[in-house]
């Protein structure tokens, strides 16, 4: 997989190795990003545009089925290229679409959100949801390239940037103290400052997937904050104003940090400090969901086995441990304790 900017895309397209080109967008990226992409890039063949509705609900088998047919009806073949232009929903869905159509066609990811730039589009995970279970169906398939361009961040609402920022913080917590420090000195409303964090953030992810691409061991560390976070996201998916992925991960990281005191040996003071820092960026993320419901969703998480819920916890900041089994009672207590702790911060 190559990582580069729009020039890389242009030179890949100039090689003329694809019989046809398709671009998957949602309504938002169609409106805000597609025109500028078409203006910047000289396509050797006129691309066909596929559009889905924005939002997590498009990551479904029904939408995927429609897209398989669209590719088929528009004459896609094994030498076609799919360019996924959008946030994590588009890069996950488009990656899955490309990796399954005719047993796999080439695809290029052009992530347009911070979340997709730092996480979703990198590392070869593709997927769709099964009902409200996040990414339950998917493949591991690397794109030909991931194209990064800071200009896309300008098209984003600040809430989206703050959501993606949580994954950058996660990379700092699990592996890079100086990145973590830089995160907590960053003004998330300043795109330039945020974009500066991307390189060290991507390095954390790239280093981990280089040693464990299929999540047998070290890649599990990237799930820090995601056990609770995914459950929260699943349960709020159909709310009128659903929480964003990174907002849920931010809460999930606070819970995992608190659980790390007993479950991982993290010093209480270090845990409190980290929670205080995360909370300062996400003070409004105070979930009101029933613990039992969350637990049920967590039990069905594909990362768990034998009816046990496993968390990634910390023994220290930058020292994650995977597969720590947590009981429902312990989780419920941590949720209560976290609420009280955050009120007192
Ligand atoms: N988002 C976590 C991973 O790519 O493994």
Could you identify the residue written with the tokens 């200009």? 151
State the pairing for strand pair 2-4/125-130: unpaired
Q: What is the CA radius of gyration of the chain?
A: 20
Ligand 1 mean position, distance from CA 184 (Å): 22
Nearest CA among 190, 191, 168 for reference residue 181? 168
pLDDT confidence of 308, banded at 50, 70, 90? Answer: confident
Per-residue pLDDT of 77-90, as tens digits, reads: 999 999 999 999 99
| CA separation for the pair 249, 247 (Å, rounded) | 5
Architecture category of domain 2-154 in CATH:
3-Layer(aba) Sandwich (3.40)
pLDDT confidence of 196, banded at 50, 70, 90? Answer: very high
Ligand 1 mean position, distance from CA 18 (Å): 29
What is the mean predicted confidence (pLDDT) over 221-226?
Answer: 97
pLDDT confidence of 340, banded at 50, 70, 90? Answer: very high
Q: Which atom of ligand 1 is nearest to the CA of 208?
A: 5
**Does the beta carbon of 228 sit less than 6 angstroms from any atom of ligand 1?**
no
Catalytic residues: 103, 125, 167, 205, 215, 219, 223, 226, 230, 245
Ligand 1 mean position, distance from CA 118 (Å): 10
Q: Which of 114, 119, 121, 212 for mutating ligand 1's site (highest number of atoms within 8 Å of CB)?
A: 119
User: Which residue's alpha carbon is nearest to atom 3 within ligand 1?
Assistant: 222
State the pairing for strand pair 145-147/48-52: unpaired
Cβ partners under 8 Å of residue 268, min gap 6:
261
Ligand 1 mean position, distance from CA 32 (Å): 27
pLDDT confidence of 304, banded at 50, 70, 90? Answer: confident
Q: Which of 202, 223, 302 for mutating ligand 1's site (highest number of atoms within 8 Å of CB)?
A: 223
**Does the beta carbon of 162 sit less than 6 angstroms from any atom of ligand 1?**
no
Ligand 1 mean position, distance from CA 124 (Å): 9
Q: Give the pLDDT score at 129.
A: 93
Nearest CA among 305, 290, 296, 228 for reference residue 263? 228
pLDDT confidence of 234, banded at 50, 70, 90? Answer: confident
**Does the beta carbon of 125 sit less than 6 angstroms from any atom of ligand 1?**
yes
What is the phi/psi pair of residue 165, to 5°? -60, -30
Q: Which of 114, 124, 219, 303 for mutating ligand 1's site (highest number of atoms within 8 Å of CB)?
A: 219
- Contact at 8 Å (CB) between 117 and 75? no
Q: Which atom of ligand 1 is nearest to the CA of 167?
A: 1
For residue 39, pLDDT beyond 80? yes
HSE value, Cβ hemisphere, 13 Å, CA-based, for 109: 36
Q: Give the pLDDT score at 202.
A: 94
Percent of the chain with pLDDT over 90: 86
| CA separation for the pair 102, 77 (Å, rounded) | 7
Q: Which atom of ligand 1 is nearest to the CA of 120?
A: 1
Domain boundaries, the chain: 2-154, 213-344
**Does the beta carbon of 164 sit less than 6 angstroms from any atom of ligand 1?**
no
- Contact at 8 Å (CB) between 52 and 58? yes
Per-residue pLDDT of 51-72, as tens digits, reads: 999 988 999 999 999 999 999 9
Q: Which atom of ligand 1 is nearest to the CA of 119?
A: 1
**Does the beta carbon of 279 sit less than 6 angstroms from any atom of ligand 1?**
no
**Does the beta carbon of 342 sit less than 6 angstroms from any atom of ligand 1?**
no
Please state, as a whole number, how many other Cβ atoms lie within 10 Å of the Cβ of residue 270. Answer: 15
Judge residue 135's burial from the number of C-beta atoms within 10 Å of its C-beta, 0-12 exposed, 13-18 middle, 19 or more buried: buried
Q: Which atom of ligand 1 is nearest to the CA of 122?
A: 4
**Topology given in CATH for the domain delimited by 213-344:** Dehydroquinate synthase-like, alpha domain (1.20.1090)
């Amino acid at each position: 997989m190559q990582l580069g900017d729009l020039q890389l895309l242009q030179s890949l397209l100039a090689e003329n190795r694809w019989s046809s080109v398709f671009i998957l967008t949602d309504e938002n990226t169609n409106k805000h990003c597609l025109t500028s992409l078409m203006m910047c890039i000289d396509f050797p063949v006129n691309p066909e545009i596929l559009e889905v509705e924005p939002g997590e609900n498009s990551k479904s088998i029904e939408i995927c089925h429609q897209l398989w047919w669209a590719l088929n009806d528009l004459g896609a073949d094994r030498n076609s290229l799919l360019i996924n232009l959008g946030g994590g929903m588009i890069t996950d869905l488009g990656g899955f679409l490309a990796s399954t159509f005719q047993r796999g066609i080439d695809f290029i990811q052009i992530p347009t959100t911070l979340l997709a730039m730092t996480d979703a589009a990198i590392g070869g995970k593709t997927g769709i949801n099964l009902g409200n279970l996040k990414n339950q169906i998917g493949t591991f398939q690397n794109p030909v390239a991931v194209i990064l361009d800071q200009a896309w961040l300008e098209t984003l609402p600040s809430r989206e940037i703050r959501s993606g920022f949580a994954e950058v913080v996660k990379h700092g917590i699990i592996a890079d103290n100086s990145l973590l420090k830089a995160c907590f000195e960053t003004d998330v409303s300043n795109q330039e400052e945020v974009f500066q964090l991307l390189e060290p953030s991507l390095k954390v992810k790239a280093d981990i997937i280089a040693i464990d691409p299929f999540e047998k061991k070290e890649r599990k560390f990237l799930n820090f904050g995601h056990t609770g976070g995914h459950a929260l996201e699943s349960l709020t998916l159909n709310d009128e104003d659903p929480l964003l992925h990174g907002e849920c991960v931010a809460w999930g990281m606070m819970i995992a940090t608190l659980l790390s005191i007993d479950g991982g040996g993290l010093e209480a003071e270090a845990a409190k400090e980290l929670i205080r820092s995360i909370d300062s960026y996400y003070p409004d993320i105070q979930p009101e969901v029933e613990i039992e419901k969350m637990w049920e969703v967590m039990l069905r998480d594909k990362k768990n086995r034998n009816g046990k819920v496993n968390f990634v916890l910390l023994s220290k900041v930058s020292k994650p441990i995977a597969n720590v089994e947590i009981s429902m009672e312990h989780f419920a207590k941590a949720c209560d304790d976290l609420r009280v702790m955050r009120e007192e911060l």
